[in-house]
Amino acid sequence: MEGTRILVVDDERAIAELVEIHLLSDGYQVWRAESGPDALQILASIEIDLAILDIMMPGMDGLELCRQIRRDRNIPILMLSAKSEDVDKILGLKTGADDYLTKPFNPLELMARVKAQLRRYLYLNPGTPAAAPDERVTVRGLEIDKARHTVTVDGRPVTLTPTEYEILLLLAANPGRVFSSEEIFERVWKERYFQSNNTVIVHIRKIREKIEDNPSHPTFIKTVWGVGYKLAD
């Protein structure tokens, strides 16, 4: 992934420099910002492929910056935070982040997550060549064009993050099959699932908000209580 452009936003210079060193050593191009407004200026002029955002920053924090990025960009967003409580992780994911890492972190784990997010994003990017350009997954009014990485519901375009897209594609490609949260997590994130992990729940909620007429009474993604989720066929 040489030449891939990554934005690091952290007001702690030592942390930002540590992240930058590891990214540069793997061949990535790195832009750094110490505040939300500075990050937005970079995003306005550079085509960034992935953003690493610290949550706790003065002025515009990482959550607000994430919201602003999500208004018109679907790049992977990895949040960094000194807080380890589940509620903080859920808040970050609800805001639109794809992944969350607690400080202090192992740089090797950070790099593994960066690579996983980039593989997902660059593979699913509309500009990426596809083996079957006309391949589509259609379930009732939901249509996923795998070549163009587009989703529509009754002809209405739906904008998903790379992680949301992959979860929906997994469910839509297997309509009627029930997937547990553990199986969804391990298939999409390629990591071991922990029982207290609410990541899948948060992403399912975000997908429903985008594809369902009434997310409180979904017609596409159904909850099978005590088991998991399925896409109703």
pTM: 0.66
Tell me whether domains 5-124 and 136-231 share a fold. Answer: no
Per-residue pLDDT of the chain (233 residues; tens, 9 = 90+): 557 899 999 999 999 999 999 999 999 999 999 999 999 999 999 889 999 999 989 899 999 999 999 988 889 999 998 776 666 677 778 888 888 888 888 999 999 999 988 887 776 554 444 434 457 888 889 999 887 788 999 889 998 888 899 999 999 999 999 999 999 988 888 777 776 568 888 899 999 999 999 999 999 999 999 899 999 88
CB of 188 within 8 A of CB of 204? Answer: no
| Tokens linked to 124 | 């699913």
Q: CATH topology for 136-231?
A: Arc Repressor Mutant, subunit A (1.10.10)
pLDDT of 85: 60
Residue type, 141: G
Query: Residue 99: which of 183, 190, 172 has the closest Cα?
Result: 190
Q: Which residues contact 158 (CB under 8 A, 6 or more apart)?
A: 151, 152, 210, 211
CA dist 58 and 10 (Å) reads: 10
> Which ranges of 46-82 does DSSP label H, i.e. alpha helix?
62-70
Domain boundaries, the chain: 5-124, 136-231
Name the phi and psi angles at 213, rounded to 5.
-65, -40
DSSP string, 189-224: T-S---TT--HHHHHHHHHHHHH-SSTTS-SSEEEE
Domain spanning 5-124: CATH 3.40.640.10: no
Q: Give the max Cα distance, the chain.
A: 51
pLDDT of 16: 93
